[in-house]
Amino acid sequence: MTEQSLVNLAIGYFERLGYDVERDIVLFGVSGIPQAFDLSLRKGDEVRLAYVKDWTRSVGVNMVIKIDRAAEDVDVRRPILVARGFSDHAYAYSNRHGVTLLTPRELSE
């Protein structure tokens, strides 16, 4: 699966859930540092931000921490990370901090 097709799979999934989806968003947060996100999702007053990482290896906890901190910097809660798979530490961190982790399997359901 290419990164483009994983992004398209994610966009289709979020659109089915009723989100308006924008790609390649850059926001400036409290830190003044530009924070880049692959997707911005809006449904009513709800805003979510997402990274999409189509890597051949599992995504580790460092990437989950990175999106969590980037989303917090721009004052958006519950970020989403889409990837082929995640490490056990990534799942543990996401459960404690409210980061949603999605794989192609969940996006296809």
Higher pLDDT, 83 or 5: 83
pLDDT digits (tens, 9 = 90+) for 21-71: 999 999 999 999 999 999 999 999 999 999 999 998 999 999 999 999 999
- Lowest mean pLDDT across 4-8, 15-19, 96-100: 4-8
User: Domain count of the chain?
Assistant: 1
Buried b / exposed e over 90-106, threshold 16 CB at 10 Å, is beebbeeeebebbebee
CATH number of the domain that residue 72 is part of: 3.40.1350.10
Domain extent at residue 58: 3-108
Check pLDDT > 90 for residue 2. no
pTM: 0.91
Check pLDDT > 60 for residue 75. yes
Q: Supply the pLDDT for residue 4.
A: 54
User: What is the overall mean pLDDT for the chain?
Assistant: 94
Starting from the edge strand earliest in sequence, which strands make up the sheet with 80-83, in order? 20-28, 34-43, 46-53, 80-83, 100-102
Nearest residue to 36 (alpha-carbon basis) of 57, 15, 66, 9: 66
Q: Tell me whether residue 80 is exposed, middle or buried, using C-beta atoms within 10 angstroms of its C-beta: 0 to 12, 13 to 18, 19 or more.
A: buried
